[in-house]
Amino acid sequence: MDAPLLDARPARPPADATPRERALLLLAEAGALLHASLDPEATLSSVAQLVVPALADWCAIDLADDPPRRVAVAHVDPEKVRFAEEVRRRWPDDPDAPHGVHHVLSTGETEWMGEIPEALLVASARDPEHLEVIRALGLRSYICVPLVARERVLGALSLVNAESGRLFTAGDVALAEDLARRAALAIDNARLFTEAEAARALAEQNADRVRLALDAGRFGPWEWDVAAGRVWWSPAIEAMHGIPEGSFDGTFEGYARDIHPEDRDRLFAGIESLLREGTHHFVRYRIVRPDGQTRWLEAHGRLYRDAAGRPVKLIGVCGDVTEKLLAEKEARRLERERCASHAYALRAEIAEALTTRGDLATVMTRCVEALTSRLGLVAAALWVAEPEGYALIAQAGAPIDGAFARLPFDAGPFRGILDPDGPLVSEGAGDPRLEGRPLPAGASWLGGLRLGHGDQRAGVLGLFAERPLSEDLVGVLSLAAEAIVQSIDRLRAKATLAAYAQELARSNAELQQFAYVASHDLQEPLRMVASYTQLLARRYRGRLDADADDFIAFAVDGVTRMQTLINDLLAYSRVGTRAREPVEVETERVVADVLANLRTELERTGTRTHVGRLPRVRGDAGQLGQLFQNLVANAVKFRGEAPPEVHIDAEPGDGEWTFVVRDNGIGIAPEFHERVFIIFQRLHTRDESPGNGIGLAICKKIVERHGGRIWIESGPGTGAAFHFTLPATAQ
């Protein structure tokens, strides 16, 4: 509501004014009111106030809404207005009544009753109370005129005289109609204005949107009047070029001036081509602004031609896309980074999978599992090269058809996919290269990576996916493939090594068993040969002839040597077959026992022994005794001219002890340092020194069985020092 207007009570016409003068004054006032506001309802209310009491006791205005709506009621007494409204509320107008507002609104005809007949009041009344109320209102005379504008009934103006006793004249009716016409026009105008306003607001909103869109993309419109050679730039474009608004000179040269030299030829060639035969214009180019800044602009346009097809006008928009390009570049960089981090994660995951403990199949299964989950594959599989082709050893995801179990070296379905220089993306389910091997359920794309470099064939990695993998990812995979190849090589080498080690252990055990069985079983018949040749010698020496004695002597000698050999062989093989679990051994005590065993021999040869502090070690006490006994006996056996001396010492090392058995004997030339440890290798003739050269071989075997090493430091005439290591006890 517009309060000031409402309160502006019109001036009263002078008491002596003629009816004609009063009417003119009323219309003038009403017209002023009606044009003063664009709010029709507020205005109509003011008009109603203006009419009462000058023209009528009552005035009401209804608008032809559905249902009709009373927008203004006026009476000199506000109490009466409220009362009338109450009456109307209780007894609403009958829309089908042959008189009244509804009737006027529907017919568009004026109703005029100079004097309301009693019969009409009775007919209109709904009930006796209503009739009484109507009578109480004292309604005398009545006019109802339609508000018509542009042939449409917009509402109705009702005038009623009651208390004043005045009766409406034909002049009043004309005045009312005049007033109604003006009011209708005002309402129509206001409505048109409101609609226009709304349309304008909508247009403005749209314009705003366009402007926002242009601003957002930093776009501004431009025009090139080709015929006139004039260029128009919107202020936005001037801003893009970094020049003050309105300063663009409007020439093509002015436009061309800022274009980056490197982009100029390309741009102008495009424009020429456009003028010659094109319609749509799209260019992206750089400008160098007066302040030296380089910006990227993007122009879109449409070329209009005249009827003869001559270019007339190129109209378009132009935007600064520098930030957009930067953003795009950044987005690409981020995407690359995301890809890289994805790649990194993938490689890390594969690397982790490859460190799984287990055999080739276990490790590769983990690997393809990682690929399947990380890349969201339907399935992944890995084949390794075997002599006849590739064999499937690992798969993950959806089950892979059995036909994929083996692949020929050209890799069958992967043929062509396996580019020698890297991976290739394939066609998919319909690919004839699949050769009847159905893809796993859900997969429509097959990718493969050949594992191995150049001619090396390590394996094939197969990927089954719903849709092709990005080339970036495939690139990443080829990096991962490197690690997979290394892992395959390593695991296969490990497996081969393990197989060799197992085979070696088996053949060693077999050999040992053979040596034992051979030497043991040979002993019996040999004992017989020996016994009977000895019996021959015992009973018949000197009783046959000299030849017989010689022959018997040779036979006895040979058989005795053979017995020794077999015994030695048995002893040597027993180092391996008769081994006991290692325990903690006091080597000092072992050595003391050994020296006690050898006492007779040591005394006989005048050998002096010196034993240092010896440690506890882990080992087989019996074998260690044999070791020391062989070394001490060896030292005594190969004594020189001087009285033999044997030193036994030990020094701690890293988790082991190094023992030394040193003598002052004849020593061993360096070239024989290795040979002395070989079974049945003798450095001396049988005459010089007895024995089969088994002692040191047994020593070496014992030391090695204990996880140690044995070596000699010696030269001829300088004595010999036998060093060997034994593992220290846990503490």
Partner 1 sequence: MTEHAIEILLVEDNPADVRLTIEALKEGKMKNRLSVARDGLDALAFLRREGAYADAPRPDLVLLDLNLPRMDGRELLAIIKRDEALRRIPVVVLTTSKAEEDILRTYDLHANCYVTKPVDLDQFIEVVKSIDDFWLAVVKLPRE
Q: Which of 495, 535, 583, 678 binds partner 1 (CB under 8 A)?
A: 535
| Site stretch for partner 1 (CB under 8 A), options 138-146, 334-342, 433-441, 532-540 | 532-540
Return the H-helix or E-strand segment holding 433: none
Closest CA to 71 of 79, 61, 81: 61
Q: Nearer to partner 1 by C-beta: 478 or 523?
A: 523
Q: Nearer to partner 1 by C-beta: 338 or 538?
A: 538
What are the backbone angles phi and psi of residue 359, rounded to the nearest 5°?
-85, 180
DSSP state letters, 168-223: --HHHHHHHHHHHHHHHHHHHHHHHHHHHHHHHHHHHHHHHHHHHHHHHTTEEEEE
Each residue of 37-58: b (16+ CB within 10 Å) or e? bbebbbbbbbbbbbbbbbbbbb
Residue 8 CB-density burial (10 A; 0-12 exposed, 13-18 middle, 19+ buried): middle
In angstroms, give the least distance from the CB of 563 to partner 1: 6
Write out the binding residues for partner 1, residues 555-614 only, by CB under 8 A.
Answer: 563, 567
In angstroms, give the least distance from the CB of 541 to partner 1: 13
Instruction: Please enumerate in sequence order all residues whose Cβ is within 8 A of that of 289, keeping only pairs 6 or more positions apart, or say none.
Output: 241, 242, 258, 295
Q: Nearer to partner 1 by C-beta: 200 or 580?
A: 580
Considering the rule CB under 8 A, would residue 538 count as an interface residue with partner 1? yes
| Site stretch for partner 1 (CB under 8 A), options 57-65, 146-154, 485-493, 533-541 | 533-541
Provide the pairing of β-strand 459-465 with 379-386: antiparallel
Q: Nearer to partner 1 by C-beta: 274 or 530?
A: 530
| Site stretch for partner 1 (CB under 8 A), options 133-141, 219-227, 531-539, 618-626 | 531-539
CA distances from 27 to 21, 168, 634 (A): 10, 17, 153
Closest CA to 700 of 712, 691, 692, 689: 712
Considering the rule CB under 8 A, would residue 549 count as an interface residue with partner 1? no
In angstroms, give the least distance from the CB of 388 to partner 1: 52
Q: Nearer to partner 1 by C-beta: 25 or 562?
A: 562
Instruction: Please enumerate in sequence order all residues whose Cβ is within 8 A of that of 35, keeping only pairs 6 or more positions apart, or say none.
Output: 186
In angstroms, give the least distance from the CB of 538 to partner 1: 7
Q: Which of 7, 16, 524, 687 binds partner 1 (CB under 8 A)?
A: 524
- Asked, as a colleague might, if the bond just before 261 is cis with ω within 30 of 0, I would say no
Considering the rule CB under 8 A, would residue 123 count as an interface residue with partner 1? no
Considering the rule CB under 8 A, would residue 528 count as an interface residue with partner 1? yes
Q: Nearer to partner 1 by C-beta: 467 or 538?
A: 538
Q: Nearer to partner 1 by C-beta: 14 or 525?
A: 525
Q: Nearer to partner 1 by C-beta: 232 or 532?
A: 532
Q: Nearer to partner 1 by C-beta: 110 or 560?
A: 560
Q: Nearer to partner 1 by C-beta: 535 or 553?
A: 535
Considering the rule CB under 8 A, would residue 194 count as an interface residue with partner 1? no
Q: Nearer to partner 1 by C-beta: 478 or 567?
A: 567
Site map 33..52 versus partner 1, x via CB under 8 A: --------------------
Q: Which of 37, 356, 478, 523 binds partner 1 (CB under 8 A)?
A: 523
CA 713 to CA 611: how far, in whole Å? Answer: 19
Which alpha helices (H) appear in 541-586, and where do they start and end?
A: 546-577
CA distances from 189 to 66, 185, 203, 240, 369 (A): 20, 6, 20, 44, 78
Max alpha carbon distance in the chain (Å)?
A: 200
CA 352 to CA 434: how far, in whole Å? Answer: 32
Q: Nearer to partner 1 by C-beta: 110 or 534?
A: 534
8 A C-beta contact, residue 433 and residue 412 = yes
In angstroms, give the least distance from the CB of 521 to partner 1: 11
Structure tokens at 345: 């994660």
In the block, tokens 């002049």 appear at 171
* Total of chain residues touching partner 1, rule CB under 8 A: 12
Considering the rule CB under 8 A, would residue 530 count as an interface residue with partner 1? yes
Q: Which of 88, 336, 527, 599 binds partner 1 (CB under 8 A)?
A: 527
Q: Nearer to partner 1 by C-beta: 524 or 545?
A: 524
DSSP state letters, 108-171: ---EEESS--HHHHHHH-SSHHHHHHHHHHT--EEEEEEEEETTEEEEEEEEEE-TT-----HH
| Site stretch for partner 1 (CB under 8 A), options 195-203, 217-225, 526-534, 640-648 | 526-534
Q: Which of 532, 540, 554, 680 binds partner 1 (CB under 8 A)?
A: 532
Instruction: Please enumerate in sequence order all residues whose Cβ is within 8 A of that of 88, keeping only pairs 6 or more positions apart, or say none.
Output: 70
Please count the CA atoms within 13 angstroms of the CA of 417 that sit on its side-chain side. Answer: 27
Q: Nearer to partner 1 by C-beta: 500 or 532?
A: 532
CA 411 to CA 433: how far, in whole Å? Answer: 10
| Site stretch for partner 1 (CB under 8 A), options 145-153, 165-173, 448-456, 524-532 | 524-532
| Site stretch for partner 1 (CB under 8 A), options 184-192, 242-250, 275-283, 530-538 | 530-538
Write out the binding residues for partner 1, residues 343-402 only, by CB under 8 A.
Answer: none
| Site stretch for partner 1 (CB under 8 A), options 23-31, 71-79, 173-181, 528-536 | 528-536
| Site stretch for partner 1 (CB under 8 A), options 73-81, 529-537, 607-615, 698-706 | 529-537
Strand order in the sheet with 720-727: 608-611, 645-652, 656-663, 720-727, 710-714
| Site stretch for partner 1 (CB under 8 A), options 9-17, 260-268, 523-531, 585-593 | 523-531
Considering the rule CB under 8 A, would residue 534 count as an interface residue with partner 1? yes
Provide the pairing of β-strand 379-386 with 230-233: unpaired
Q: Nearer to partner 1 by C-beta: 157 or 530?
A: 530
Three-state secondary structure readout of 315-333? EEEEEECHHHHHHHHHHHH
In angstroms, give the least distance from the CB of 526 to partner 1: 8
Rule CB under 8 A: which residues touch partner 1?
Answer: 523-524, 527-528, 530-532, 534-535, 538, 563, 567
